[in-house]
Structure 1
Amino acid sequence: MPLALYKTTAFVATTTQVQAMDTTTGRVTATVTPDRTPVDAGNGWNDTNHADAPLLVTAHGTPTVIAPFVVKQTGTGTQASHTVVEVTGTSADTGKAIWHLTLRLPEWATEDDPEASAIGADNGIAVIRVSTFHHDHAAAYGIDLNGPRQVWSADKFQASAVTDQTVAGALLEDDIGIDQRPAGFDLTTGRSLWQGPRGRSVSTATAGPHRIRIHGRDYTNGDYDRLADPRTGRTLQALPADLASSTCTYDDRSMLICYGMGAASYVVYSLDPSTGKVAWHLPDKQADRIAPEITTAWHGRIYGTTDNGAVALDARTGKDLPSPRVAPLLVDESAGIVLRDSSLLAYPTSG
């Protein structure tokens, strides 16, 4: 979902604005827009499926919401017009814009309609990814949040994971996005740290504070799916074959929850990302337990649904917990956000 939670405020992003919404009342308390005209003018809420979630960070000791917009920079005199990315920094406490930063795009962005996403942040540096819809072109930018200022850029790099002062993703080896290789760059300097074998369908994702998941197809050795050290790219643990097409979510405490279609059925696994070992998995025929469809995981608790309704599981043990009655798509210490009939609903939480 294209939103971030901060205490009792949900920041909802579209391609044209970020709205701050009070989760206790549903009232919109603030709206932030870019200074320039968005390329995709759109229709507000109807555009949420074209925007990724804004990024909640701390800059200058202030909780800040980062959101990038693809906008038109109008030319003046002999200066030509350009498509650029305008990054906004918004106070999470007040909902007011603090700063705007412009990123100049590579030449390919003038011929395609690029999309911009805030990928992640660590140690005061945030990463913005700009890519085409089919991901045949991509570039990444490092932003010093204490400036704010751009400190590095990397063209032909599809950034997708930020952790341990590293940004990982896929290097695009051709002009159509098919030939790729996994790679990691230093978050502060943009310096190359490591590159993996050439292949296709490369994807990386954060898998905890000091881990990334890398999967794809190596032209020499075939498919791979592994947990790795983000600073070196070194394999720490191969993941079970059942997880080849799964999604993994870190519970922001200690466990990595992976779920998706396995070899024979829908499966759910819980792994310790520090070791890569499986703590438990479902379905479990011996215990007569089925695998729930997972919606999210947070602070040791997993949320999902079965034919019996909403469920909650202990992330470490897999044991059933008292039913939460709803299955939130996003949750924090104040609210759980549920999508029902194209409407966002907020339910109070505790803990």
Structure 2
Amino acid sequence: MVTTTAVTAALILLAGCGGDDKKSDSGSENKGGETTTSATPSAPAVPSFDPPKAFAPAAAYPVMRDKEHQFSEEKSQSGIAGQVALIGRWTGLTGHDVADPNKTWTIKSAEAETTKVTDATKPVAVKVDGKDVALVAYTESDKGNGTQKPSGLVVVHWVDVMTGQKLAEVTAKVSTLQGTGDTAAGTPNVAAVAYDPETGQVAVGVSLMGSVSKYQTVYADPKTQKSTILPGMSPAAVHEGVVAGAPGPADPGGSAGTVVLADGASGKVTKQIPLKQASLKPLAAGAKHAYFYGDKDSAYDSGTKGQAIFVVDLSTGAVTQTEPAPPSDSNVQVECLADQATAVVCTTGTVQGSSLGIVGFDDATGKKAWGYTEDSGGRVVPRVTAAFHGVVYAQTEAQPVLLDAKTGQDLPSASSSSSPGSSETPSSGDTPSESDSPTGNESPGNGDLGLFNGKMASPAAVSAYGGVYGQSPSGDTGSVDLESVCIFLKPTA
């Protein structure tokens, strides 16, 4: 991982981007969405490292503003599954094959005109039958038809990223809407999500606007294509069919400080584990244990405050407790990421943005493996952006950095220049052809690396084939129609 300077050569590598992709006349339509293909030979395989430890910017995908939701809080979210960069919007999911510039697909979030999307999860990578699959879930409001009342839905898509075909889709009704409009009682929004990277099973927690029971969790399985609703729960983990969560604080009859374990397929509660906390926030969506941030207050501890991370074994219900940082008088935010292997890393900070500490867990045992705070001599608490197969990817004020997920030690990263060297200089075969150049019918920039602002950041998602992150448009590339730019980083070591 290195700090880069401005790019001196703009290579048009890939065409199309985001929810507003314009398809060429040669594109073909499939059941799951739209795909752009070409008769030209496939591009060479993209380099891969498991895990990557150095990157170089290789492509930039412009993300156009969604005019329908331009006044909402909706923003595009970047992900990567295998060798396909993902851009998630309320309007749908777009995939860009980073090895083949001719392979781009888009799958809409909803087809019916009577359905309106109200929220979406970040696209994440899972395996289904050994395939690289993108998992994304949407909350939707269905206006209803005939004698059916309007309802709130959770819709989950599993997409084979190499073909752009939907492998499975599950729809679950979580509420009946009372009234009309975006703020009708019962309108669902995403509250939390947990998933199993090895099976694609997912638990989507939603909050219901103005409803008596504020929280519902939908468990869905791509193999059975069935769903189960777990009422009054916000999910923290799902692994091998077991779902862990905690009741929402506004749900009647539920204790916010109690962890609940349930069988996902049947919805049957198997264990209830009281932790005597005022509230429990779910953490670490892709982990094998359930991770919660607990907050004490006067309800349990005579007016004192304290914070802790609780790790719950999904098989036995055993609990370990870790103090993530020295107590703080300010409201504390905790963020955790799983590396889809054996580690989970959590960072704590104040809502004002001050870093407090970082702690790593062995996800095989649920026990703390390492950690340090802002007061530790000689080390800075970084902002963690991603974790993958034993490596933590993070950002400091100075540059992107790498940490060993098992020990917390700094990892060296190979150096690389953002300017093309002798081996990277475009050959005659690399020079954009007439057919590669943007036309009036394509999105501005059209995959042009010239949209890259020259300041490489730590990736927001990583696979063996590289990393991605979102960049704000800047300088001469800024446009009122350009919401952001998705930067693809190819692995170099």
- TM-score of the superposed pair, with normalisation by structure 1: 0.80
Kept in 1, the 8 Å contact 2:88–2:94? The answer is yes
The root-mean-square deviation of aligned C-alpha atoms, in Å, is 3.6
Deviation at 1:169, TM superposition (A): 1.5
Rounded Cα–Cα distance in structure 2 between residues aligned with 1:207 and 1:112:
25
Question: Aligned match of 1:79 in 140, 145, 148?
Answer: 148
- Could you list the per-position Cα deviations for residues 45-99 of structure 1 after superposition, in whole angstroms to 9, with x for gaps in the alignment? xxxxx53213433445544333333345454443334343333332222112344
Match of 1:249 in 2: 337
Question: Can you give the 5+ residue segments of structure 2 that lack an aligned partner in the other structure?
Answer: 1-75, 179-183, 416-455, 473-483
Match of 2:459 in 1: 328
Match of 2:243 in 1: 167
Rounded Cα–Cα distance in structure 1 between residues aligned with 2:268 and 2:202:
15
Aligned ranges for residues 116-135 of structure 1 at < 5 Å?
116=190, 119-121=194-196, 125-132=201-208
Kept in 2, the 8 Å contact 1:294–1:302? The answer is yes
Q: Does 1:309 pair with 2:430?
A: no
Match of 1:36 in 2: 112
- Supply the AA of the counterpart residue of 2:278: R
Does the residue aligned with 1:220 lie in a helix, a strand or coil? helix
Kept in 1, the 8 Å contact 2:141–2:188? The answer is no
Kept in 1, the 8 Å contact 2:294–2:310? The answer is no
Between Structure 1 and Structure 2, the one with more strand by share is 1
- Supply the AA of the counterpart residue of 1:165: G
Kept in 1, the 8 Å contact 2:139–2:155? The answer is yes
Kept in 1, the 8 Å contact 2:220–2:226? The answer is yes
Does the residue aligned with 2:300 lie in a helix, a strand or coil? coil
Question: Aligned match of 1:91 in 149, 152, 160?
Answer: 160
Q: Does 1:220 pair with 2:300?
A: yes
Kept in 2, the 8 Å contact 1:38–1:69? The answer is no
- Supply the AA of the counterpart residue of 1:300: G
Kept in 2, the 8 Å contact 1:15–1:38? The answer is no
- The verdict on how the C-alpha distance between 1:311 and 1:26 changes in structure 2, with shifts beyond 3 A counting, is farther
Does the residue aligned with 1:30 lie in a helix, a strand or coil? strand
Aligned ranges for residues 149-228 of structure 1 at < 5 Å?
149-150=226-227, 152-172=228-248, 174-175=250-251, 180=256, 181-197=258-274, 199-206=277-284, 209-217=287-295, 219-221=299-301, 223=306, 224-228=308-312
Kept in 2, the 8 Å contact 1:125–1:143? The answer is yes
Comparing both chains, which one has the higher relative contact order based on Cα–Cα distances under 8 Å and sequence gaps of 6 or more? 2
Kept in 1, the 8 Å contact 2:471–2:485? The answer is yes
- Supply the AA of the counterpart residue of 2:341: R
Deviation at 1:25, TM superposition (A): 7.0
Rounded Cα–Cα distance in structure 1 between residues aligned with 2:359 and 2:210:
30
- Supply the AA of the counterpart residue of 2:203: V
- How many corresponding residue pairs? 341
Rounded Cα–Cα distance in structure 2 between residues aligned with 1:112 and 1:26:
43
- Supply the AA of the counterpart residue of 2:300: T
Kept in 2, the 8 Å contact 1:7–1:332? The answer is yes
Match of 1:348 in 2: 490
Deviation at 1:285, TM superposition (A): 4.8
Identity over aligned residues, as a percent? 20
- The verdict on how the C-alpha distance between 1:112 and 1:61 changes in structure 2, with shifts beyond 3 A counting, is same
Deviation at 1:175, TM superposition (A): 4.6
Kept in 1, the 8 Å contact 2:141–2:187? The answer is no
Kept in 2, the 8 Å contact 1:16–1:38? The answer is no
Deviation at 1:32, TM superposition (A): 0.8
- Supply the AA of the counterpart residue of 2:233: F
Rounded Cα–Cα distance in structure 1 between residues aligned with 2:219 and 2:288:
19
Deviation at 1:37, TM superposition (A): 3.5
- Could you list the per-position Cα deviations for residues 113-170 of structure 1 after superposition, in whole angstroms to 9, with x for gaps in the alignment? 31247531365643233323799712122223223122x2112211232235321122
Deviation at 1:192, TM superposition (A): 0.6
Question: Aligned match of 1:16 in 86, 91, 99?
Answer: 91
Rounded Cα–Cα distance in structure 2 between residues aligned with 1:207 and 1:80:
33
Kept in 2, the 8 Å contact 1:271–1:278? The answer is yes
Question: Aligned match of 2:390 in 287, 296, 300?
Answer: 300
- Supply the AA of the counterpart residue of 2:293: H
Deviation at 1:39, TM superposition (A): 4.8
Match of 1:47 in 2: none
- The verdict on how the C-alpha distance between 1:272 and 1:192 changes in structure 2, with shifts beyond 3 A counting, is same
Does the residue aligned with 1:202 lie in a helix, a strand or coil? strand
Deviation at 1:101, TM superposition (A): 3.1
Match of 2:440 in 1: none
